[in-house]
Structure 1
Amino acid sequence: MCEGEEGATRVASVSRVPDSSATRMPTRPAIPVTLWCLVAVILAERTVLRHGMSPSFDLLVTPTGVAASLCLAAVIITMLFRKRRDRGRDKHHVPVAALFVLAAGLAGALLGWLALARVTSAAEALSTSPVSAWSLEVEGDMAEGGRGWWGRAGVYGENGANVGTVWLSSPSRLECGSVVSCVGRFKPNGDDEWGVSSRMQGLAGTVSVVHVIASREADGPLGVVLRARKAVLASFSPDESDGAAVLAGSVCGDRAPIRSRGLDGVFATCGASHLVAVSGGHLAILSGALAALLGKTRLGPGVRGSLALGVIVLFIVFCGAPASAMRAGIMSCVSFGGSLVGRRSHALSSTCAAAFAMALLDPYVSGQLGFLLSVASVVGICLFGSYASYALDVLTRLPRHSGGRLLALAHGLGRLRSNACDALGVSLVAQLFTLPLTCPTFGEVSLIAPIANLVLAPLFAGLVSLGLGAAVLTPLPALQSPVLAAAEGVSQAFCKVLSTLARLPLACLTMEASAAPMLAVLCGACVALYVVWPVPRRRLLVRFAAVLACGAVALLLGLRLLQPARVCVFDVGQGDAILVADGSAAVLVDTGPDEAISLALTRQGVIHLDAIVLTHLHDDHVGGMDDLVGRVACERVLVAKGVAEKIPAELSASISRLSGHEAEEISYGDTIRAGSFSLRVVSPTEPVDGGDNADSLMLAVSYEHNGDELSALLTGDAEKDETAACLARGDVGDIDFLKVGHHGSEVSLTADEAALLDPEVSVASAGEGNKYGHPRKECMDVLAGAGSVFLCTKDVGDVTVRPGVRGPTVFTERTPGGSAAAMASAM
């Protein structure tokens, strides 16, 4: 134990040995000036590239300006602390370092303006000539999006000179490294967030391919490597299984099969996306294998290192030269170069020096999220990784044991625990340091990430090692076959564990947050911890962990058991998603068009769903299904009679990952219970295929408890004919609340139907500025004529309807000209 921990070390009356895994308290790490220079150059480049050629004092109130101010304050505090500590040894340390940081900031601003000028010039040049006059060289693997395939491409003129870089959109996939001539359209960047982000990454705009005139593969050594890669990918058959897809992504860097099989969402939920982005982890595994092989030779250290770096460079090219791998390779080269000139290895200095050089040579990296995430995570690990691991070690330290078999067992458990603490500490710090970047960008935090990375790391190392072996043996199918089979087996196990972790309740928490306050809190905590550097004490750590655990349990119980009875129509854009909840029971009717549903459920504090009902198979009603995996627990997914066999493969896979089994069918007259709510199927009366609006499940909702009542009709996209049939059969009559069919189109319902239903409040779900004009004036006039208060989610946000003794109480997320409370009282 270190001095000061848990008071003085007590001496037992019997012979005992300390835990073999005990570690020493880490010393406060030295912060190189290059770190502050790196921060200065990144902030200066981002500021110029984001806000243009004319920065002003208004920049100080932007997130970038706030970040710059916080980082400058951190520099000053840290420098002053070091000056006080080193008093008498280096009196000019602070002024000299400040000059270096100031120079780096000025250099970053100058380089940022030059980079901005290059993008602007490229956009002007590309706007004045036809796309068919250019040659487009595809950079890296293209990704499949909603409207075809997307990727980056370098643009070259007739003389072979590089004009610039663009986004390339194509209806079909274009191979990495291929040179394409095409007919298409060029659109320069706009002033929206997408355009600004593209400009910051050095992209002049987007080329949309209409027709490919000619395409040729890369030639020379690059072509040889890429053709070998293509052969390896073909032997892996990545489209046949999840394991093969992950193997192709991990070994060859081709993530398209992972995306096409819907696995990218599972990786994101578990915070494990970095595992299949070829980066430092892959290079570490490869370097370890090379060191083991070359260590058996008589070659000198310099020759061995040079050979290893050569193989690493070849591997990076083989993977399609992804930016993550190139960054990791450059950092490895810097570290190796330092060892060749006799400098001691210092991870933080090497990382900062490499990143600083990259930012100076290519200012556009400051606008690339991957670069920022890499730098933030490595810097955080270098500064506080060992401290976090030590704190976990103190918290989980095993009791001492006497000799014999218990001693051997204690040593084994101690080593295992120590390794787990190291891995967890590193993962927690990396995640913490990247939160100000990931939360504003992705709107979520993976709570399972530290555990997932700990559990998946051994399997990942195995599948990469075996996968590399299988790749090398591609020309020898007989030898490759058993190795490839073993690699796929490990990869399948990896996918199974990954899917299991992703389905755990609260594996991922959706969070809407701004970068500036998160960065302020992080900087303040880091400065305080660095200056004080307290010795972790077990008693305080246990109390802190107990408080966190009790708080988490109380929060879970509150979210799970204490929810009020309500029907909530979510604002998810041009789509439908309705929550029916009472206490611990909750049913979701449709999932909206995209990831907005996870944010909506977070707003309502929902962490568990008894069922999801998909009214029909249109994308605006089922598109958010995949995004729910890992964010909420769901017991079953229900569809209309006859629809289960018509569910698309991708949606079916999402349903299985979310609920653990396939969709179930419900028929006319069936009832779903959610606490005191009853949801009865009133349409369709016959089997359907779910492809038309008329196929929509219509649910008559009723609630009665302690005098509070509510009746409602949820219609999906059903229109006037289906509603008329329900009224004619007597399945529905006078109701309190109507979820208007088909987003409030002109054929949603007739005046007679509105009069028979006589809803007190009617809600349509539609997106702002939708091309259909929903909700239509005809529909609103019909409901107004029936005396119903009409609301639309695009105007008022989420609409929540609660049962009441004297009728429903309605709350809106936002109310034009008033407050939500005013709307509630008006009901």
Structure 2
Amino acid sequence: MTAIVAVPSREADARMPVRPAIPVTLWGLVAIILAERAVLHFGMPRSFGSIAVAVGVGVGACLLAVLAMMRKAMGRGVADVPAVLPFVLASVLVGALLGWLALGRVNSAAEALSTTPVSAWGLEVEGDMAEGGRGWWGRARVLDESGGKVGAVWLSSPTRLECGSMVSCVGRFKPNGDDEWGVSSRMQGLAGTVSVVHVTAVREVGGSLGAVLRMRQTVLASFSPDESDGAAVLAGSVCGDRAPIRSRGLDDAFATCGVSHLVAVSGGHLAILAGTLAALLGKTRLGPGVRGSLALGVIALFIVFCGAPASAVRAGIMSCVSFGGSLVGRRSHALSSTCAAALAMALLDPYVSGQLGFLLSVASVVGICLFGSYVSHELDVLTRMPRHPGRGQPALVHTLGRLRSNICDALGVSLVAQLFTLPLTCPAFGEVSLIAPLANLVLAPLFACLVSLGLAAAALTPLSALQFPVLAAAEGVSQAFCVVLCALARLPLACLPMEASAAPMLAILCAASAALYGVWPTPRKRILLRGAAALAGGSVALLLGLCLLQPARVCVLDVGQGDAILVADGSTAVLVDTGPDEKVSQALARQGIIHLDAIVLTHLHDDHVGGVDDLVGRVGCNRVLVAGGVTDQIPEDLSASITKLSGHAAEEISYGDTIRAGSFSLRVVSPTEPVDGSENADSLELALTYEHNGNGLSALLTGDAERDETGACLARGDVGDIDFLKVGHHGSELSLTSEEAAALDPEVSVASAGEGNKYGHPREECVDALEGADSVFLCTKDVGTVTVRPGARGPVVSSERTSGGSAAALVSGL
């Protein structure tokens, strides 16, 4: 019997990308990264040291033998399992040994810094410092008296210290803790944080390196990055100084659009520079080796000129590996070059396995090399229009076809890069940019133009008359880039909050990738259309569910030492206060909130308004409300964030005003007169009620108001017996009296406070007063986010986690 095989058309065969070979170095790279991360994260007992050293010596010899055997297996994909397995095993053991040695260096540096004063060390600033809420932050190398490196630390300074400068100072050293920040710092090779109290001496770097950095400062001064958004983006793109971008608030727009990688000096910049150099050197009579060496030298100078950011260093190493391969007569293979460069970096510096930027670079490039051409081909098949019969195609049709093909290529690369980095970005940032593929497609040409013009303007800095027109053109293109960027960032649902664990996302990604690689099916337009329709339908259903089907509830969100209370019902949601920082956007993501009808800021303390800026571009908002008299007192930076978030300035609400959120009603019961929002007593107090389908709930949301304000509300009759109390001022000793607790008689009381806070919140006096009134007392620092739902027989309460072995469902139908 003759088998009948469906043969695709010649055109499909010609366009269908070949399944790429997987180099054995990819498996070794993954094994080493996982092993190094595991040891740096969880640690390894010192008693394992002698065993690890002995294993490392043996594994090193085995690794050389395995590498020799792998020469024949290169290019055979995944077929040689017997050869790949020993290589992976050896990589795991080597990674564990390197991780153990790196862990020992971090611990030794922390011990040395903890036992001697900071003034005894020299601190060499690595890269540009970033402005934070309490000054400037950056990395620094710690050097001893002889100039030897002791370790690396985070450096916190009240003033900005320039890249490459050597600093002597009086300060405090704090070693890493066991919290998430401390573990992350340790995995990056940082022993802790040095907080500068007083700088005693600053010495700029000398020699040729110092000359390059001084030239950089001259170029930055000529760009005037603080004068406009376009100049700030130009300075960040050409000189690698991103501080002006952050100070002007543009980093939120970059994150929302998923294009932060554009402004980070990396492979894209080096590709533009290399292309320009190739065009110039191609007109000379120099040989390929000399031209390549000159190009690499210029690229190295450019990396130093930009402050040697890690992303640029990685891209430069990969360029060197690719060029080295061409010198020995090997054909360029992007995936092999990437894996070889990344493997070398992980072997030489195990701390890169703990750096998010390194992992993002490797994940995106590996994904693009494996599946970029295939996904681009799928998009090409999906968007291909049937040809009309005829001898030839008009020139316009041909041009549009080429444009469509180029768009498919760009979208395919962007989609694959975003998918392969999701297991890293979602846990780290708690969001996913839906606009990213379109933003990359639209902004990439503008970005290439502004970088090219910016590099030319930088080169012409000594010749101001010649630089002026080029710089003006560069700033014009950069300003257009910013206009488009901000317009895209303001689109509805440009960025979707998304909280997910890395492990399940990584497992799903690996399983899907393995299935696609193994099958490598020929794309069929009909099947792709059905898949696209199913995906679109599922996305619409999910968004409708998030927007319209929110259950009626009040959530005291766990945002640390601050307040943020979500009131949601059906298609409406109101947020009362925003907490101190970015934790509020992550908490809203876990609640599935993508749009807020209103944000109420009870008063102007940072722990209640600090999260406003982080919500910009992440959650939609119709309006921001404050107490009467407060609008004129709002700080300039907060006012700007409010305008970005809601599209207009804050609005005032006064005593007796009511806010609606579905079947919830929130009535202002304090203050009764205009206030300036600067004191706890100025806090808006809201009496909440809910009645629907036999379910009810009454509550008092207090902000930071204390016993005097709450007592006045009781005396006026604005509030009485309630089901639920959001405890005032995080449960301080002045929150309320025993008499007030008895008068309110809440079935459940919830305080919002951060673990280990310096104020001791909640205080024993407050807890005793409420428990004395037979109220169940909960605190977010103990049980996480607390959710209160209306019930037929009283509030139904649950918490994010348990405390003291109690059940998560703490109160039901009280």
| TM-score, normalisation: structure 1 | 0.88
**What residue identity is the alignment partner of 1:765?**
S
Aligned to 2:714: 727
Aligned to 1:29: 20
Aligned to 1:42: 33
Residue 802 (structure 1) shift: 3.2
| 2:496 equivalent to 1:509 | yes
- Secondary structure of the 2:167 match is strand
Q: Could you say which structure has the greater relative contact order, defined with CA pairs below 8 angstroms and 6 or more residues apart?
A: 1
Distance 1:242 1:444 in 2: 25
Residue 252 (structure 1) shift: 0.9
| 2:166 equivalent to 1:179 | yes
From 250, 270, 274, the equivalent of 1:283 is 270
Structure 2 CA distance for partners of 1:123 and 1:785, relative to 1, 3 Å = closer
Residue 646 (structure 1) shift: 2.4
**What residue identity is the alignment partner of 1:39?**
V
Aligned to 1:72: none
- Secondary structure of the 1:636 match is strand
Aligned to 1:345: 332
Distance 1:86 1:216 in 2: 53
Aligned 8 A contact 1:401 1:410 in 2: no
Q: Deviations over 1:289-308 (max 9, x none)?
A: 22233334444433332222
Aligned to 1:745: 732
**What residue identity is the alignment partner of 1:41?**
I
Aligned to 2:632: 645
Aligned to 1:15: none
| 2:616 equivalent to 1:633 | no
Structure 2 CA distance for partners of 1:777 and 1:322, relative to 1, 3 Å = same
Distance 1:414 1:687 in 2: 64
Aligned 8 A contact 1:505 1:632 in 2: no
Residue 361 (structure 1) shift: 2.5
Structure 2 CA distance for partners of 1:208 and 1:606, relative to 1, 3 Å = closer
Distance 2:527 2:9 in 1: 17
**What residue identity is the alignment partner of 2:25?**
T
Residue 83 (structure 1) shift: 12
| 2:786 equivalent to 1:799 | yes
From 429, 433, 453, the equivalent of 1:466 is 453
Structure 2 CA distance for partners of 1:119 and 1:713, relative to 1, 3 Å = closer
**What residue identity is the alignment partner of 1:464?**
V
Residue 127 (structure 1) shift: 4.2
Aligned to 1:235: 222
- Secondary structure of the 1:150 match is strand
Aligned to 1:823: 811
Aligned to 2:261: 274
Aligned 8 A contact 1:799 1:810 in 2: yes
Aligned to 1:68: none
From 227, 243, 248, the equivalent of 1:261 is 248
Q: Which segment drifts farther, 357-366 or 781-790?
A: 781-790
Aligned to 2:102: 115
Aligned 8 A contact 2:171 2:196 in 1: yes
Aligned 8 A contact 1:586 1:674 in 2: yes
Alignment of 1:199-348 (within 5 A): 199-348=186-335
- Secondary structure of the 1:718 match is coil
Distance 1:743 1:50 in 2: 33
Aligned 8 A contact 2:576 2:602 in 1: yes
Aligned to 1:492: 479
From 599, 602, 606, the equivalent of 1:619 is 606
Aligned 8 A contact 2:799 2:810 in 1: no
Aligned 8 A contact 2:497 2:594 in 1: no
Alignment of 1:499-578 (within 5 A): 499-578=486-565
Residue 632 (structure 1) shift: 1.9
**What residue identity is the alignment partner of 1:285?**
I
From 339, 350, 358, the equivalent of 1:371 is 358
**What residue identity is the alignment partner of 2:452?**
S
Residue 346 (structure 1) shift: 1.0
From 411, 415, 434, the equivalent of 1:428 is 415
Gaps of 5+ in 1: 11-17, 58-74
Distance 1:791 1:535 in 2: 57
Structure 2 CA distance for partners of 1:31 and 1:495, relative to 1, 3 Å = same
**What residue identity is the alignment partner of 2:35?**
A
Q: Which segment drifts farther, 770-779 or 527-536?
A: 770-779
Residue 543 (structure 1) shift: 1.1
**What residue identity is the alignment partner of 1:823?**
V
Residue 714 (structure 1) shift: 1.8
Residue 621 (structure 1) shift: 0.9
Structure 2 CA distance for partners of 1:385 and 1:769, relative to 1, 3 Å = same
- Secondary structure of the 2:424 match is helix
Aligned to 2:799: 812
Q: Deviations over 1:79-122 (max 9, x none)?
A: 9xx999999xx9xx544444444444444444444434444444
- Secondary structure of the 1:181 match is strand
Q: Which segment drifts farther, 785-794 or 738-747?
A: 785-794
From 764, 781, 795, the equivalent of 1:777 is 764
Aligned to 1:442: 429
Distance 1:297 1:798 in 2: 67
Distance 2:520 2:226 in 1: 51
- Secondary structure of the 2:811 match is helix
Residue 523 (structure 1) shift: 2.1
Structure 2 CA distance for partners of 1:756 and 1:164, relative to 1, 3 Å = closer
Residue 410 (structure 1) shift: 2.9
Q: Which segment drifts farther, 42-51 or 696-705?
A: 42-51
Aligned to 1:703: 690
| 2:666 equivalent to 1:679 | yes
Aligned 8 A contact 1:5 1:536 in 2: no
Aligned to 2:62: none
**What residue identity is the alignment partner of 2:412?**
G
Distance 2:111 2:319 in 1: 38
Distance 2:93 2:794 in 1: 65
Aligned 8 A contact 2:21 2:75 in 1: no
**What residue identity is the alignment partner of 1:616?**
H
Structure 2 CA distance for partners of 1:460 and 1:728, relative to 1, 3 Å = same
Q: How many residues align?
A: 788
**What residue identity is the alignment partner of 2:404?**
R
Distance 2:444 2:750 in 1: 49
- Secondary structure of the 1:565 match is strand
Distance 1:779 1:40 in 2: 53
Structure 2 CA distance for partners of 1:523 and 1:299, relative to 1, 3 Å = same
Distance 1:466 1:134 in 2: 42
| 2:598 equivalent to 1:607 | no
From 561, 572, 579, the equivalent of 2:566 is 579
Gaps of 5+ in 2: 49-65
Aligned 8 A contact 1:727 1:733 in 2: yes
Residue 150 (structure 1) shift: 2.1
Aligned 8 A contact 2:687 2:699 in 1: yes
Aligned 8 A contact 1:5 1:535 in 2: no
Residue 575 (structure 1) shift: 1.3
Distance 1:296 1:5 in 2: 52
Residue 333 (structure 1) shift: 1.5
Residue 755 (structure 1) shift: 4.0
Alignment of 1:652-671 (within 5 A): 652-671=639-658
Residue 191 (structure 1) shift: 4.3
Distance 1:461 1:819 in 2: 57
| Alpha-carbon RMSD | 3.1
Q: Which segment drifts farther, 417-426 or 473-482?
A: 473-482
Aligned 8 A contact 2:794 2:812 in 1: no
Aligned 8 A contact 1:505 1:608 in 2: no
Aligned to 1:158: 145
Distance 2:38 2:745 in 1: 57
Structure 2 CA distance for partners of 1:711 and 1:113, relative to 1, 3 Å = closer
Distance 2:486 2:159 in 1: 30
